[in-house]
Structure 1
Amino acid sequence: MMLVELSSAPAAALPVAGLKDHLRLGSGFADDGLQDEVLEAFLRAALASIEARTGKVLLEREFRWSVTAWREVDRQPLPLAPVSAVGSVTQIDRNGTAVPASAQRYALEPDMQRPALIAVGATLPCVPRGGRVDVTLLAGYGPEWSDLPPDLAQAVMLLAAHFYEYRSDGALHGASMPFTVTGLIERYRTVRLFMGGRT
């Protein structure tokens, strides 16, 4: 299994101004935008950290997921949530020849915790011997910051501020998340059993 991010969250979707307000950084000066790139980097780091802890994609992006075998022939849990669309399913043989599967053979089973690709008919498109299947997914709560649940948005803001405040403190290398952040994200974390299989 391999998961590749095909697009990244645009800078315009990140609340750099909100993080400045949260940090109470000065405004009205000629160099107001001097730290924008640094703040954007900390917001992206906080997003990535929270996505890794929760298994949720916060800002909407496109991914390609490659598999060499289905867990079940008629239903495959997806590695991300929430998923709003399955763009394509492509069978690729051992020689690299790609054959798009008919969209009438599969469908998305939406779920905020464990979405799945399900067969329309008897089975999902078969995985070629020695090959793979590539699935493109559109995942995330939405393209705008306002699409995020308020508690997840607050968790990102708090963690980005934490990263900023302790950016020069080498003693915090490898430290765990602040308690306030873990408290906010706890209800979004799911126990993963065999790629989100049926429980």
Structure 2
Amino acid sequence: MAGLKVITPPPVEPVTLGEVKTQLRIDADDTDYDDILSPLIVAAREWCEGYQNRAYITQTLELALDEWPCKGVINLPRPELQSVTSLTYFNADGASAVWPNENYVVDDYSFVARLVKAKGVPWPSECLTAANGIRVRYVAGYGDSGDDVPQKIKQAIMLLTIHWYENGMCDPPPAVKSLLQLDRVMLA
């Protein structure tokens, strides 16, 4: 079984409060709606990231696996991969060890980036802890600011935020899914 945690969330949102207020024709200096709109922007970004299986703004993620993969490949969900920080494994006693990065190749050309075990290098043979014995920590996202995020994603976040503001937290309108569908990562 695999699991994914956000270790360091994005420090900013792809869409600003000011941009949403402009779309809603709310004056920039009117703060009456800020406490309502700000969490909706975060929720809309999280929904869109989950729908697309992507990371938008730079964030640190950790993928946990229960066992070493048979094919020698670990797929790293939530592209765009920026860097791999570490591959750590935990033995049955809970002791951790970092697997050296010269033992694997980072394939960032694949649609979903992956770690590929170097030829002739076996996986560690120690018995792993019962759950989450392997952890890959990495940094993903289009970049550090909203300017790095594709416009159609920003538009989808804005549409969803406004839709939820006007209609409550109901299903997203088809336009949001249409904007996100083309670059959606389908996980097996």
Q: TM-score range by the shorter chain?
A: 0.7 to 0.9
Distance verdict in 2 for CA 1:80–1:123, change over 3 Å: farther
Q: After superposition, what is the alpha-carbon deviation per residue over 1:166-197, rounded to whole angstroms, capped at 9, x for unaligned?
A: 23xxxxx6x4320111110110123332xxxx
User: How many Å apart are 1:22 and its aligned residue?
Assistant: 1.1
Distance verdict in 2 for CA 1:129–1:73, change over 3 Å: farther
Residue of structure 1 equivalent to 2:94: 96
CA contact (8 A) 2:68 2:123 kept: no
Give the total of aligned pairs: 184
Distance 1:101 1:48 in 2: 31
RCO (CA 8 Å, sep 6+): is it higher in 1 or 2? 2
TM-score where L is the length of structure 1 = 0.83
Q: After superposition, what is the alpha-carbon deviation per residue over 1:16-50, rounded to whole angstroms, capped at 9, x for unaligned?
A: 1111111111244xxx2343343221111011111
Residue among 83, 101, 115 paired with 2:113: 115
CA contact (8 A) 2:13 2:41 kept: no
Distance 2:112 2:134 in 1: 20
Runs of 4+ in 1 over 6 A off after TM superposition: none
Report sequence identity in percent.
21
Residue of structure 1 equivalent to 2:178: 183
Residue of structure 2 equivalent to 1:170: none
Structure 1 alignment gaps of length 5 or more: 168-172, 194-199
1:40-55 equivalences under 5 Å are: 40-55=38-53
Q: After superposition, what is the alpha-carbon deviation per residue over 1:44-81, rounded to whole angstroms, capped at 9, x for unaligned?
A: 10111111111111111001111112333422222221
TM-score where L is the length of structure 2 = 0.87
CA-atom RMSD in angstroms: 2.1
- 1:146 aligns to what SS in structure 2? helix
Distance 1:5 1:145 in 2: 19
User: How many Å apart are 1:85 and its aligned residue?
Assistant: 0.8
User: How many Å apart are 1:144 and its aligned residue?
Assistant: 0.4
